[in-house]
Copies of this chain bind each other. A is one copy, B any other.
Amino acid sequence: MGELINGRELADKMQSELKVEVNELAKSGIKPGLVVILVGDNPASKTYVKNKNIAAGKIGIHSKIEHVAETINEAELLTLIGKYNKDDQFHGILVQLPLPKHIDEEKILLAIDPEKDVDGFHPMNLGRLFINEPTMIPCTPYGIMKMFEAYDVDLEGKNAVVIGRSNIVGKPMSQLLLMENATVTIAHSKTKNLEAVAKEADILVVAIGRGHFVTKEFVKPGAVVIDVGMNHDENGKLIGDVKFDEVSELASYITPVPKGVGPMTITMLMYQTVQAAKKQK
């Protein structure tokens, strides 16, 4: 039975440390601020935004939810972002995705000042990450790297396989693993013999978005397994991309869902907001 990587516990620890840091910063007159822009009434988006707001509040980050109607047009949304780019109360700006179809997501992300892009989705920040320059980093893969660090998972020279190639998880994850000298394979829905490819992994990160997709046949005994999935089963229960019960028998370390990667994502958002506040001061 593999050891559990407890994302909830690590997130709580990091958030406590951030709270101390925010208290310290207050003494020098720095109050980190985060504005979350929510367009429309997607229930999942509302939940995510609410959770970010709660986390910020606990840490002492000044946070604001800017909730605008689904009918806002692109120009109005760009104007709103422009306003927050100039507002020095807010060091981080996050636009909750997805946006309504009449708005070009790429254009919106480009409009955010890269220095305030605490989500790490701006092409300039992704480009800087790609060339190993210090930058804002997408929060989910960044949180996973913090897990490896906390659990002393050695990455150098290891075979890492990332299943999934999204711009915000799979690709930046691969780059972060590469920076730690892992040999990195990016696999995806078009990969032939996905089982065999995954089974070569010492480190397996699964972000394919299909509930219980990764079974024990995909996993080499002793592998470290990270489950980024957030799916709902037929009963509405939150499940990961990994069939935890059987894979945990084989893995050396494994993250659960929930209480695995999820809490770390929010934590890294807070972490980068605090970093941004320090840098912008």
Contact = CB atoms under 8 A, between A and B. Distances in A.
Interface of A: 106, 122-128, 130-133, 156-159, 165, 167, 171, 174-175, 178, 181, 183-188, 190-192, 197
Q: Which of A158, A165, A197 is the most central at the interface, judged by chain B CB atoms within 10 Å of its CB?
A: A165
Given A123-B128, A125-B127, A165-B178, A188 B183 contact: yes
A119 B124 CA distance: 16
27 contacts: A123-B127, A123-B130, A124-B124, A126-B127, A126-B130, A127-B130, A130-B130, A130-B171, A131-B167, A131-B171, A132-B167, A157-B190, A157-B192, A171-B175, A171-B178, A174-B186, A181-B188, A181-B190, A183-B185, A183-B186, A183-B187, A183-B188, A183-B190, A183-B191, A183-B197, A185-B185, A185-B186
Given A127-B122, A127-B127, A184 B185 contact: yes
B157 A191 contact: yes
A209 to B, nearest CB: 17
A63 to B, nearest CB: 27
